[in-house]
Amino acid sequence: MMREALIDLGAISHNVEVLRGIAGVDAMVIVKANGYGHGAVESARAALAGGATWLGVADLDEARALRVAGVDAPLLAWLHDPVADFASAVEAGIDVGVSSAAQLEALAALPGRAEVQLKVDTGLGRNGATLESWPSLVADAAAHERAGRLHVRGIWSHLSNTGADEDAAQVQIFAEALAAAHAAGLDPELVHLAATAGALHVPASRFGMVRLGIGAYGLSPDAAPVAQLRPAMELAASVVSTKRVPAGHGVSYGYDHVTSDETTLALVPLGYADGIPRHASGRAQVTINGVRHRVTGRIAMDQFVVDVGDHAVAVGDRVVLFGDDRSGVPSAADWADWADTINYEVVTRIGNRVKREYRL
C-alpha cells in the first residue's frame, strides 16, 4: 500500500440511518464531487442501504455517470451547463433542478416528459429563481404541466447556514414560495430545503425531505462534533523511506524546519497533488504506530517529511493522516483547522492517485 483512502461503507449507511432518525423525514444523499471524495457509486449504494430514497449530484455528467454504473435510484442534478444536454438526462430518468425560465423552456420543448424540481433562491444568492421571477416561473411550469410537457415533482431551496435568524427568514420565504406554487396549480410531491446542518439543528427546515451531504460521510457541518456519526474516510500512506540525520539538517523546501537534535526523518508519499493542504505545513499532525507526530517542513507536491525523533519508525509503517478521531488519530476537522479551511474541503480534494479501498 503506497497511499489509500479506506472507506467504511457501513459507516455511510449508519450515518444515513442516524440522520434520518434525527430529521424524521426522508433523505436525499448528496454524492457530488465523487461522493465528497469517497467514491460516488460506492457511496450512493451505501446511502441507499442506509435508507436514502433519493440521490443528488451537482451536474448532469455526475448524474449520468451514476446511471452508467447501474445506479437506478431517483436522482436530482441542479447545476447546469448553459447548453446542457437535458434530453439525455430526461432519457436517463434524471430529475432536473430548474432555476430559470430558460431552463424550464428548454425542458418543456423536449419530446420526453421531463421531471423537474423548481428551485427558488430564498437568500443564498447562488442558483434558484429570484423571488421576483418566481410567480412567473411557477405559472409557466403549471401551464407546461397541464399541457403534458413536463411534470413538477419538487420545489426546493438551500440554506446559507448563517445563523438562526437567517435560517428562520429563509424558511419563511420558502414557505411563501411553496404557497405561491400551490396557488399556481402545482402539487409537488417533494419539498426540501435542509442540508445536513438543517437536518441536525433546524426542525422547521426539514419539510418532506433533507439533503444529506457531509453528515452522510460522518463529518459535522460545523464546529460542533456530532457524536452519533462515524467518519467514513481514513487517509493513510506507507512510510517510503527513513533516515537518521544529525542536528542542523534542513527539511524540505526553504528549510522551514531544521532538526534540533540527531533524529529520524520519515518520508510520506502524499502531497498537495493528492489534496494534502500545503497550508498545513508545520502544523498538521499524523499518527504512526499509535504516536502523534507533526508534519515537519513544507508539504510538497508528492510527499512530506515527519521528524519522528527517536521513535522506532520503519519503511512500510502505516501513517494515518486522518480518520475516526475516537481511535486517537487526527480528524478531517483537525486538518481543516491546521489548513484554515473546512472538513468538506479536506476530504473532497483527496486526489486520484490515492487508491480508494472499500470495506463493508
Ligand X SMILES: *Cc1c(COP(=O)(O)O)cnc(C)c1O
Q: 3-state SS string over 192-221? A: ECCCHHHHHHCHHHCCCEEEECHHHHCCCC
Q: Which of 196, 263, 331, 348 binds ligand X (CB under 6 A)?
A: 196
If the CB atoms of residues 220 and 263 are measured against ligand X, the closer one turns out to be 220
Taking contact as CB under 6 A, which single stretch among the options 106-114, 193-201, 306-314, 327-335 is the one that binds ligand X? 193-201
Report the nearest approach of ligand X to the CB of residue 173 (Å). Answer: 16
Q: Does residue 128 interact with ligand X by CB under 6 A?
A: no
Q: Does residue 20 interact with ligand X by CB under 6 A?
A: no
Taking contact as CB under 6 A, which single stretch among the options 98-106, 189-197, 271-279, 303-311 is the one that binds ligand X? 189-197
Report the nearest approach of ligand X to the CB of residue 213 (Å). Answer: 2
Q: Is 355 part of the annotated catalytic residue set?
A: no
Question: Longest C-alpha distance within the chain, in Å?
Answer: 80
Which contacts of 327-336 are long-range, i.e. CB under 8 A and separated by 24 or more positions?
A: 328/287, 328/290, 328/292, 329/234, 329/287, 330/284, 330/285, 330/286, 330/287, 330/292, 331/231, 332/219, 332/231, 332/233, 333/219, 333/220, 333/223, 333/225, 334/284, 334/285, 335/277, 335/280, 335/284
Q: What are 283's three cell numbers?
A: 502544523
Interactions with ligand X, residue window 257-316 (CB under 6 A): none
Quick check: 235 and 37 in contact, CB under 8 A?
no
Q: Calculate the alpha carbon distances from 154 to 25, 135, 238, 249 in Å.
A: 15, 16, 47, 62
Q: Which of 217, 243, 253, 255 is catalytic?
A: 253
If the CB atoms of residues 231 and 297 are measured against ligand X, the closer one turns out to be 231
Q: Is 119 part of the annotated catalytic residue set?
A: no
Report the nearest approach of ligand X to the CB of residue 166 (Å). Answer: 15
* DSSP string for residues in 228-252: T----EEEEEE--EEEEE-TT-EES
Distance CA 17, CA 5 (A): 23
Distance CA 237, CA 327 (A): 17
Quick check: 110 and 88 in contact, CB under 8 A?
no
Taking contact as CB under 6 A, which single stretch among the options 43-51, 173-181, 211-219, 287-295 is the one that binds ligand X? 211-219
Q: Does residue 30 interact with ligand X by CB under 6 A?
A: yes
Report the nearest approach of ligand X to the CB of residue 330 (Å). Answer: 21
Q: How many residues bind ligand X (CB under 6 A)?
A: 12
Q: Does residue 80 interact with ligand X by CB under 6 A?
A: no
Report the nearest approach of ligand X to the CB of residue 124 (Å). Answer: 9
Q: How big, in percent rounded to 5, are the helix, strand and coil portions of the chain?
A: 35, 25, 40
Q: Does residue 123 interact with ligand X by CB under 6 A?
A: no
Residue number with the smallest Cβ distance to ligand X: 213
Q: Does residue 211 interact with ligand X by CB under 6 A?
A: yes
* Burial of residue 359, with CB atoms counted within 10 A of its CB: 0-12 exposed, 13-18 middle, 19 or more buried: exposed
Report the nearest approach of ligand X to the CB of residue 95 (Å). Answer: 13
Q: What are 208's three cell numbers?
A: 418532506
**123 φ/ψ sector (left φ>0, alpha ψ -120 to 50, else beta):** left
Q: Does residue 195 interact with ligand X by CB under 6 A?
A: yes
If the CB atoms of residues 77 and 104 are measured against ligand X, the closer one turns out to be 77
Binding mask 220-239 for ligand X (x = CB under 6 A): -x------------------
Report the nearest approach of ligand X to the CB of residue 235 (Å). Answer: 19
Q: Does residue 212 interact with ligand X by CB under 6 A?
A: yes
Q: Does residue 158 interact with ligand X by CB under 6 A?
A: yes
Q: Which of 213, 218, 297, 330 binds ligand X (CB under 6 A)?
A: 213
Query: What residue ranges bind ligand X (CB under 6 A)?
Result: 30, 32, 158, 195-197, 211-215, 221
Tell me the catalytic residues: 32, 253
